[in-house]
Structure 1
Amino acid sequence: MSETGAGSTEPVLDVEDIHVYYGAIHALKGVSLRVGASEIVTLIGANGAGKSTTLRAINGLNHPRQGAIRFEGRDITTATPHSIVQGGIAQSPEGRRLFPRMSVTENLEMGAFQRTDREHFKEDMDRVFELFPRLHERRHQKAGTMSGGEQQMCAIGRALMAKPKLLLLDEPSMGLAPIFVEKIFEIVREINAGGTPVLLVEQNALMALDTAHRAYVMETGRIALQGPAAELKTNERVQKAYLGLE
């Protein structure tokens, strides 16, 4: 895989020196990262390193006290979550957070609730079912009765129904059987090949580095390492700390 996406010279997302606090706790200490227009970029690190907090800053749930976040050149540092989704950033959250008593189709429809272009709605639903044939088979089933892997597919499908210009994925492989993990990452590559840039936060560092063009390694609220994913995969420090290799 190439080191950067073809359109990565102009970042679709530019996070610059952000500092985020939870009360008195300084959670992010000057984080900077970029996502190019055709890239998959991954953020890896131990639990509590600040990966999910970075996503929460980007999607408007935790506003930075310092620094700036720009999306397609617009400053969204203090924008509301609602306006950020409307502007083209969609997230598949950690833990999936589906509506368990609603059907798969109804959950997918919830992803499109802010859209005004209803004429493309069916075409996008068909695209989600093409990416995830299992969701088509289960389309009338209550989301809460599906397996973890199927629920993860539904959560990603719901985010895609927003027609995002940037897709944020928070721990998509968490708790999944290996067969589903492979499938989820295969679909992430397919989504990206269709033109959607992806920022991926993932505990499974090996799969993340195999999937992404570029990677950032977070440690205690800071970016400790960054570079092409293939290079970081061979980095001794990364191998020892995150890939379980000595």
Structure 2
Amino acid sequence: MSTKATVGDILQLDDIHLYYGAIHALKGISLRVGAGEIVTLIGANGAGKSTTLRAINGLNRPRQGSIRFEGRDITMAPPHEIVGGGIAQSPEGRRLFPRMTVIENLEMGAFQRSDKENFQGDMDRVFELFPRLYERRTQKAGTMSGGEQQMCAIGRALMARPKLLLLDEPSMGLAPIFVEKIFEIVVEINTQGTPVLLVEQNALMALDTAHRGYVMETGRITLEGPAADLKTNEAVQKAYLGLD
């Protein structure tokens, strides 16, 4: 399945096949993210959503297909080059440094940056998006609530000044009030100019937030289109939105 690139696409995956040993995990994945878009990838556990992100960020190498970012082929680029080129991720499970403070975790997000003159301005932006992080700035990350840790993980990714932000299950394990807040902030980040590729099990929130979406099943994309259309699709409603 091939997705035709359009003018303004920042990311394009074309016919990606990826294996874990003998297991064919991704079976011809094609998708695109346009400049200014929020694009969501929904599907059940084991569908291949996180594996797709691992292909994009260089942690797993595809056996076939191509990944292009800002027109440049990054299919075989090492992870540090991909981060340096402008792709940052807030990973599933947050993966903060628990014994480091909030500020120290945020500083780690800017580790590869050479433009230190903008560092404080970006830190201020993170605290503006997440006022609670400012209140907790000297607190060890491992002692915060799950929602606060998720805010810190997204803030850390933003400190890399990404041209594309990958979010892997940002609502996982969070109380409903935090879920709503996280998605509001995702929209705000996008409004400020950062495209977002969102992997999310909460399909309703994801489709309410995104411009376009893709549905994955067992390593393949089975549906794609405007998020509003997917939300009203009968098969999507039954499988992912809990509607009969």
The CA distance in 2 between the partners of 1:48 and 1:25, in whole Å, is 12
For residue 97 of structure 1, the aligned residue among 80, 95, 118 is 95
TM normalised by structure 1 equals 0.97
TM normalised by structure 2 equals 0.97
SS of 1:14's partner is strand
SS of 2:62's partner is coil
Q: Deviations over 1:155-213 (max 9, x none)?
A: 00000000000000000000000000000000000000000000000000000000000
For residue 110 of structure 1, the aligned residue among 102, 108, 111 is 108
The CA distance in 2 between the partners of 1:184 and 1:98, in whole Å, is 17
The CA distance in 2 between the partners of 1:65 and 1:11, in whole Å, is 23
The CA distance in 2 between the partners of 1:21 and 1:228, in whole Å, is 29
Query: Who is 1:5 aligned against?
Result: none
**Count of matched residue pairs:** 239
Q: CA deviation at 1:10?
A: 1.8
Query: Who is 1:19 aligned against?
Result: 17
For residue 45 of structure 1, the aligned residue among 43, 46, 61 is 43
Query: Who is 2:3 aligned against?
Result: none
The CA distance in 1 between the partners of 2:211 and 2:62, in whole Å, is 27
Query: Who is 2:230 aligned against?
Result: 232
Q: CA deviation at 1:62?
A: 0.6
The CA distance in 2 between the partners of 1:233 and 1:241, in whole Å, is 11
Matched, 1:170 2:155: no
Code of the aligned partner of 1:61:
L
SS of 1:141's partner is coil
The CA distance in 2 between the partners of 1:221 and 1:11, in whole Å, is 23
The CA distance in 1 between the partners of 2:64 and 2:119, in whole Å, is 39
Q: Which runs of 4+ in 1 moved over 3 A?
A: none
Code of the aligned partner of 1:197:
P
Give the fraction of aligned pairs with identical amino acids, expressed as a percent: 85
Q: Deviations over 1:36-77 (max 9, x none)?
A: 000000000000000000000000001100000000000000
The CA distance in 1 between the partners of 2:15 and 2:61, in whole Å, is 13
The CA distance in 1 between the partners of 2:7 and 2:196, in whole Å, is 16
Matches within 5 A, 1:155-234: 155-234=153-232
Q: CA deviation at 1:114?
A: 0.2
Code of the aligned partner of 1:65:
R
Q: Deviations over 1:220-242 (max 9, x none)?
A: 00000000000000000000000
The CA distance in 2 between the partners of 1:119 and 1:66, in whole Å, is 40
Q: CA deviation at 1:79?
A: 0.3
The CA distance in 1 between the partners of 2:230 and 2:213, in whole Å, is 7
Tell me, which stretches of 5 or more residues in structure 2 are unaligned?
Answer: 1-5
The CA distance in 2 between the partners of 1:140 and 1:13, in whole Å, is 36
Tell me, which stretches of 5 or more residues in structure 1 are unaligned?
Answer: 1-7
Q: CA deviation at 1:9?
A: 3.4
SS of 1:163's partner is coil
Code of the aligned partner of 1:25:
I
Matched, 1:141 2:136: no
Code of the aligned partner of 1:79:
A
The CA distance in 2 between the partners of 1:210 and 1:50, in whole Å, is 22
Q: CA RMSD in A?
A: 0.5
Code of the aligned partner of 1:201:
V
